[in-house]
Structure 1
Amino acid sequence: MGVAAIPPAASSLSPSGWARAESSQLLLPPLPPGRGCVLCRHQSGILALASLQQGQRSHQQLTGNHPCRKQFSRMDCLCEANTSFALDLWKKLSENDSRKNLFYSPISISSALAMVFLGAQGDTAAQMVQALQLHKAKDVHPGFQSLISEINKPDTKYLLRIANRLFGEKSYSFNTGFLDSCNKFYLSELEQVDFQQEYEAARGQINSWVEGKTDGKIQNLLGQGTLDSLTKLVLVNAIYFKGNWADQFKKDLTKEMPFRINKNQTKPVQMMFRNGKYPMTHIGEQQIKIIELPYEDKELSMIVMLPDEINDDSTGLEKMLWWNHCPKKNYGKLERELTYEKFADWTNPEMMNTKEVELFLPRFKLEESYDLKPFLTSLGMHDAFDMGKSDLSGMSDRNDLVLSKVVHKAFVDVSEEGTEAAAATAAVMKFRCASVPRVMADHPFLFFIRHNKTRNILFCGRFCSP
């Protein structure tokens, strides 16, 4: 995000054969006379969630005012807020075209926007609370602080890192309290640059930082013309994930097979195969299989949601739901009806049985870029982008900053070794895992990379076409 001029910032990582990360950036242009500053920010991140049960057990074992209990309580609430926002954004990104590939890091976007929220006041702050679902969280910034600490945990068999950086105009005065809070909660230090005279050089400096944090997977995050002499601040968030599957696919079993884009059209894809035991379930009324593919250490997992079949010219993801046999109230497309409650229930370990299955999964890479401004405004975040209404006075006493742009870029590479990424209800409980000996992901599916302990989604994706 950017304040006081139009800056960009964001980055992600992603190497091949792993789950990758995303990046997003927010830009703020200068306001009219008397309010002339712009803030720009960029972020990238990866989400990976696995065992929901582990975090719940830890929470249940803690009592009273134990500091760890407070930490898990904060992260539980933040998980609900982040997941709700992730799915709200998913629906907005899918409105114009539900048949295209999709990949982004909601944790990257929400953490970058949370830094902007640090400096928001009045209606601007209230609208951000609603758009980001932060009313479901308590102690938002300490919650992100705990989450970042968990994500950056050392001595793991996978590589998962999240980083933040402020790039500020060297001649502009930012509130010390804002800078201190960014550093305290988001480990984001201020790096002074010369946007006024050397904004193109500053753009190169920011892009280099992003590229370095994402192991070269996110390049040229800020395109030419993104920044200008009015740019005052660029907030950057980069998240990178690289991990091997707990049980890898054998490369010699990967073969070319047809991937059914819809009932009448196919494209060739390199299809991986493995016969092994995986947690999975089948949601009968929705006719979807859900399977969990853990990474090494089982602290991160990929969750795949696969429709049973394609029945028409659609992708199969437009399948109609029939919740509680009440079509008038709850009738809609699978993705439109996906909520935090349903996602939590469907992926709950108690809903899954570990079964031996024949798993067919495409080897694929996705790289997606988004200008998130129209999607955020459609979620109700209007004033932050409005020169006449923006109130980011927490960043500067001059109150002359406005958000101009939010850019996000993400990359994922799924292969035999693993993944690299630089970017509901009680009624369901009865749909226990049916006997499904084969999972054939040869048609469009949804996938999520989840961090098990905190249950936060690091990355969201939809694979519709090779």
Structure 2
Amino acid sequence: MRSFATFMSLLTICWGLHEDRLTLANNRFAISLLHGLPTSTETNIFFSPYSISVALGMAFAGARGETREDLFQGFGYARSDINDDVVLEAYASHRTRLRSLRSNSTLDEAIGAAIHERISLLSSFENVLNNSFGADLLKVDFINGGQAAVDVINGWVHGKTRGKINLLFGEPLETITQLVLLNAVYFKGTWDMVFDQRLTTKKTLYERVLYTD
């Protein structure tokens, strides 16, 4: 029993390390992406790095050969010293951790894949989407039912985000589309330290960003 307990402790530490390295890789990718996005003095930039990382993780799961290696390098997995064979397990561990958090906030994640109804995914890829990412698989007809396919996707994300995102795609996708990887996040929480709205005034916000690598 003691040996088994020791083994489980080491396994937990090992997976925790993989998860931390995956988080590091995703954070680095997010910062690089932010620096590459167009800037404007009139509008703010709003995007979800986590959603992008999850979608790219699903793309990595389905890639093979040179494409898989390019994604492994491009997403920063290699730089963060995480092995190719544990990336997907780290995503699964991270997802489990998020779902187990207990707080006064609500965090719902919508992960899915819209698949053209005439193609079949490899069982190995389908298992990864289900087990590592908890993805919903949506069968649609991108060729003959363009608008209907978009309506299915929009209806799915509408339900997953409790009505906050009503329109993911406004027009039918190209008829050559075979697979669309989907991710959205619904978050609702309260401030840890509530501020008095009467003390709030509109002023210019100056932000100083320090980036170190």
TM-score (norm 1): 0.41
Question: Which position in structure 2 is the counterpart of 1:218?
Answer: 165
Which letter does structure 2 place at the counterpart of 1:104? Answer: F
Question: Which position in structure 2 is the counterpart of 1:357?
Answer: none
Q: Deviations over 1:145-204 (max 9, x none)?
A: 111111122643110122311221111122111111111101113222222221211101
Which of the residues 106, 117, 132 maps onto 2:75?
Answer: 132
Which letter does structure 2 place at the counterpart of 1:78? Answer: L
Question: Which position in structure 2 is the counterpart of 1:86?
Answer: 30
Structure with bigger helix share is 2
Higher relative CO (CA 8 A, sep ≥ 6), structure 1 or 2? 1
Q: Deviations over 1:120-151 (max 9, x none)?
A: 12221122112210112331111111111111
1:63–1:86 CA distance, 2 compared to 1 (3 A): farther
Equivalent residues in 2 for 1:74-113, closer than 5 Å: 74-93=18-37, 96-97=38-39, 99=41, 100-113=43-56
Query: Percent sequence identity over matched residues?
Result: 33
Distance in 2 between residues matched to 1:211 and 1:79, nearest whole Å: 28
Equivalent residues in 2 for 1:38-437, closer than 5 Å: 66=9, 67-93=11-37, 96-97=38-39, 99=41, 100-135=43-78, 136=80, 137-138=82-83, 139-153=86-100, 155-225=102-172, 227-251=173-197, 253-259=198-204, 306-307=207-208, 334=210, 338-339=211-212, 341=213
CA RMSD of aligned residues (A): 2.2
Aligned length: 203
Greater Cα radius of gyration, structure 1 or 2: 1
Distance in 2 between residues matched to 1:193 and 1:83, nearest whole Å: 33
Secondary structure of the 1:133 match is: coil
Distance in 2 between residues matched to 1:184 and 1:216, nearest whole Å: 26
**Superposed displacement of residue 89, structure 1:** 0.6
**Structure 1: gaps of 5 or more residues:** 1-61, 262-305, 308-316, 318-333, 342-466
Question: Which position in structure 2 is the counterpart of 1:329?
Answer: none
8 A contact 2:108–2:161 mirrored in 1: no
**Structure 2: gaps of 5 or more residues:** none
Q: Deviations over 1:11-34 (max 9, x none)?
A: xxxxxxxxxxxxxxxxxxxxxxxx
Secondary structure of the 2:192 match is: coil
8 A contact 1:162–1:237 mirrored in 2: yes
4+ aligned runs moved over 3 Å, structure 1? 62-65
Structure with bigger strand share is 1
**Superposed displacement of residue 117, structure 1:** 0.7
